[in-house]
Amino acid sequence: MTTFLQIITNGLMLGGLFAIVAIGLTLIFGIVKVVNFAHGEFLMVGMFLTWMITTRMGLHPFASVILVVPAMFVLGALTQRLLIQPLMGAEDDHVQIFATVGLSTALMNLALLTYGADIANTPTFGLRAPIELGPVRILTGQLYIFLAAIALVIALQLFLKNSQTGRAIRAVAQHRVAAELMGVNVPRIYILSFGLGAACVGLAAVLIAPLYPTSSNIGTYFVLTAFVVVVLGGLGSIPGAFFGAMVIGIVDSAAGYYIGSGLREAVVFGLFLVILILRPSGLFGKRMTLSHLS
Amino acid sequence: MLTLKNIDAGYGPTTILQDVSLDVKAGEIVTIVGANGAGKTTTLRTIVGQILPRRGKITFQGEDITRLHAHDVVDRGIILVPEGRQLFPDMTVRENLQMGTYRKSARSDQESRLEEVLTLFPRVRERLDQNAASLSGGEQQMVAIARGMMAKPTLLMFDEPSLGLAPIIVSQVFDVVRQIAATGTTVLIVEQNVFTTLKVADRGYVLENGSIVLADTAPALLKNDHIRRAYLGI
Ligand SMILES: Nc1ncnc2c1ncn2[C@@H]1O[C@H](COP(=O)(O)OP(=O)(O)OP(=O)(O)O)[C@@H](O)[C@H]1O
Ligand SMILES: [Mg+2]
C-alpha cells in the first residue's frame, strides 16, 4: 500500500513538472495558433539564466525569478514580433513551423557555443532534500514545482477570466476578426501572449534548474512530453494541460515500477498514440477548455 | 461625418469596389442596397479598416482614416455589427457585451449603458450568463447589435442585421435601429430587406457590381422605377 501511494505521489510530482513546462506551450498555441517548436530551448535558456544568476550572485535559485521571468517574457515577445508576425501574412502556415524549428536549432547552437557541451549544475540550496508527507517521501523542490503548477493554472485562469486584457486575449483566440472590430490591437495581443507563454516556461526553468543539470539539449528532454501533455489536454486548454500532465505523470511512474524503467517512455508514447486515435480532440474533449481559449 | 471619395478596393488581385463615393451626415440613417455579391460587405469592411483601399480617400469627422488599422478606426467611434454576428462563441453573453466596451471611450458608464441595452433587448437579459454559442440565431443577432451599442459608437454600421430572422424579429430589429438613431447615433445600414430599410432610412445608395449606380433620398428611391423592378419586385 505504501509502495502504491509512493508511486502515485511520484506520478503527481512528475505531473507537476510536465504541467509547468507545458502550460506556456498550450497558451501560445491556444492564442497565437502557432506551435512553438523552440519551447524546449526557451526552457533551456531560462535554466542557463537561472544557473548564471545563482552562481554569479550567490542567490537562492528561486530569487532569480525576478530576472528570469521578465527576460523570458521579452524573449517570447521578440520572437513573436520579429519572427512570427512577419510570417503571419504568408500564404502557407508551414513557414511558421520552420521558423520556430529554426529558432530552436539556433538557440541550441548558441548555448553550445557559449557554454560548450558541459553540464551546468545550479546550486540546490536544499531543494533536493527529501521531505516526508505521511508515508511518502518526495523532494522539496518537486513539491514546490507541483504547488507552483497549480498556482500558475489558477492565476492564468483568473487573469483570462476577470481582467480586461485577459478577456481581449480570449476574444482574439476565439474570433480574431471580431476582436479587431471591438478595437483590440490583435498583433499586440499576440506579442503579449507569446511573451506570457515564454514567461511561464521561464518560471518552470527557475524551479527545475536546481533539480536537473542544465545542458544545451535539456529542452529536448522535456519538450517531447510537453507536446504529449498539450495534445492530451486538448490543444490550447490550460486546465487540460494540467490534468493531462497528471495522467502522463502517473502512467510514467507506474510503468517505471511495474513494467521496468527502460520501457516507461514506450508505455507513455504508446498510450498517447492510442488516446490520439480514440479521442483526437484530447482526453477531455472540448468541454474541458475551461479557459475558453479556442 | 463620413466621406468615401473614389474608393477602389478588393481582395488579392481582384478589384471589387470601383470608384465608390458616398457620404453620411451626422444624425442620418443611410442605407446601401444591392444584390448578393454587389460589394456591400466589402464597402463596410473597407470603411472599418479591415480592407486597405487601393485608391481613394476615407475621412471621418474631418480626419483622414484611409490607412488606419481596424482597431484605430474603432477607437475613433466607427463600430461595425458584422454580417453573420461574429460573437465570441465560448464567452458568455455578458462577456461578449463587455468586449463591446473594450475601446477606451466606451469604458466609462458601462453599467448604465448595459442597463439601456438590456431594456431594448429583454431576451438578452435572460441569457446573460449563457455561452453565446448556445443562443438561437435571432438571439445571437440581438447580442451582436447590443455589443455594438455597448461600444458607444458615433457611427454604427449594420451588415444585414435581419439576415435569417423571422419577420417578427426583423421588425424588432428595425425598431431598435430607429431607436438607436433617435438617440443621436448615426447609422449606416446594409440590407437585403430593401423595402423595410428604405422606410426607416433618410437616404440610400444603390450598389451594383461594385459601383454606386443611384443615390437619392429614401422616399424617392421607394418610388424609383429601377428600384421597384429590381429590388422590390413590383
Ligand atoms: N475574402 C474574400 N476573398 C475574395 N473575394 C471575396 C472575399 N469576400 C468577398 N469576395 C468577393 O467580393 C464580391 C463582393 O462581396 P461582398 O461580400 O462585398 O458582397 P455583398 O454585397 O456583401 O453580398 P451579400 O449580400 O451576399 O452579403 C463577391 O464577388 C465575393 O465573391
Ligand atoms: Mg455581405
ipTM for this prediction: 0.93
Q: Per-residue pLDDT tens for A143-193?
A: 999 999 999 999 999 999 999 999 999 999 999 999 999 999 999 999 999
More confident residue, A116 or A104: A104
Residue A147: count other Cβ atoms within 10 Å of its Cβ.
12
**Residue A90 exposed, middle or buried by CB count within 10 Å (0-12, 13-18, 19+):** exposed
What's the longest Cα–Cα distance across chain B? 49
Q: Per-residue pLDDT tens for A30-53?
A: 999 999 999 999 999 999 999 999
Task: Note whether B103 contacts A183, CB cutoff 8 Å.
Answer: yes
**Residue B233 exposed, middle or buried by CB count within 10 Å (0-12, 13-18, 19+):** exposed
Distance of alpha carbon A181 from the chain centroid: 32
> Any chain A CB within 8 A of the CB of B70?
yes
Distance B11 CA to ligand 1 centre (A): 9
What was the pLDDT predicted at B164?
A: 78
3-state secondary structure of B78: strand
Residue A272 pLDDT > 90, yes or no?
Answer: no
Please enumerate in sequence order all residues whose Cβ is within 8 A of that of A113, keeping only pairs 6 or more positions apart, or say none. Answer: none
Number of residues in chain B: 234
Nearest to A21 by CA among A248, A255, A189: A248
Distance CA B230, CA B99 (A): 39
Distance CA A151, CA B120 (A): 42
Distance CA B71, CA B78 (A): 10
Task: Note whether B88 contacts A179, CB cutoff 8 Å.
Answer: yes
**What residues are neighbours of ligand 2 (ion), with CB under 5 Å?**
B 41, 83
> Any chain B CB within 8 A of the CB of A206?
no
Which amino acid, A238?
I
Ligand 1, pocket-test mutation among B33, B42, B192, B211, most atoms within 8 A of CB? B42
> Any chain B CB within 8 A of the CB of A168?
yes
Lowest mean pLDDT among A88-92, A218-222, B129-133, B210-214: A88-92
Distance B72 CA to ligand 2 centre (A): 23
> Any chain A CB within 8 A of the CB of B21?
no
Task: Note whether A181 contacts B79, CB cutoff 8 Å.
Answer: yes
Nearest to B34 by CA among B211, B187, B156: B211
Nearest CA to ligand 1 atom 16: B39
Q: Which residue has the cell 438571439?
A: B139
What was the pLDDT predicted at B21?
A: 97
What was the pLDDT predicted at A285?
A: 62
Q: What is the DSSP letter of A62?
A: G
Distance CA B159, CA B188 (A): 9
Task: Name every chain A residue with its beta carbon within 8 A of the beta carbon of B91.
Answer: 167, 170-171, 174, 292
State the best of A163, A182, A289 to mutate against chain B, taking most chain B CBs within 10 Å.
A182
pLDDT along chain B (234 residues), means of 10: 96 94 96 93 97 96 96 97 94 96 91 92 94 92 95 96 85 90 94 90 95 94 88 74
What was the pLDDT predicted at A293?
A: 47
Nearest to A136 by CA among A287, A286, A285, A1: A1
Cell of A14: 512528475
Q: Per-residue pLDDT tens for A279-291?
A: 877 777 654 443 4
* Every domain of chain A and the residues it spans: 2-116+133-292
Write down the H helix ranges in chain B: 40-47, 70-75, 93-100, 110-120, 122-126, 137-150, 167-182, 194-200, 218-223, 225-230
Task: Note whether A181 contacts B69, CB cutoff 8 Å.
Answer: no
Provide CATH 3.40.50.300 ranges for chain B: 1-77+155-234
> Any chain A CB within 8 A of the CB of B225?
no
Cell of A85: 508576425
Distance CA B171, CA B105 (A): 31
State the best of B90, B93, B147, B158 to mutate against chain A, taking most chain A CBs within 10 Å.
B90
Q: What angle do CA A9, A19, A236 make, to 5 degrees?
A: 145
Nearest to B38 by CA among B59, B66, B18: B18
Give residue A92's region: left, alpha or beta (phi > 0; psi -120 to 50).
Answer: beta
Nearest CA to ligand 1 atom 29: B37
Name the fold adopted by A2-116+133-292. Answer: ABC transporter involved in vitamin B12 uptake, BtuC (1.10.3470)
Ligand 1 site residues (CB inside 6 A) read: B 11, 16, 34, 36-42, 83
What was the pLDDT predicted at A286?
A: 55
Predicted TM-score (pTM) of the model is: 0.93
Nearest to A179 by CA among B89, B105, B2, B164: B89
Residue A115 pLDDT > 70, yes or no?
Answer: yes
What was the pLDDT predicted at A124?
A: 85
Please enumerate in sequence order all residues whose Cβ is within 8 A of that of B26, keeping only pairs 6 or more positions apart, or say none. Answer: B1, B186
> Any chain B CB within 8 A of the CB of A169?
no
CATH superfamily to which B1-77+155-234 belongs: P-loop containing nucleotide triphosphate hydrolases (3.40.50.300)
Cell of B18: 470601383
Strand-by-strand arrangement of the B211-217 sheet = B78-81, B155-159, B186-191, B29-33, B203-208, B211-217
Confidence of residue A249 (pLDDT cuts 50, 70, 90): very high
What was the pLDDT predicted at A97?
A: 84
Please enumerate in sequence order all residues whose Cβ is within 8 A of that of A74, keeping only pairs 6 or more positions apart, or say none. Answer: A195
Distance CA B106, CA B108 (A): 6
What was the pLDDT predicted at A43?
A: 97
A vs B: CB pairs below 8 A = 68
Nearest CA to ligand 1 atom 26: B36
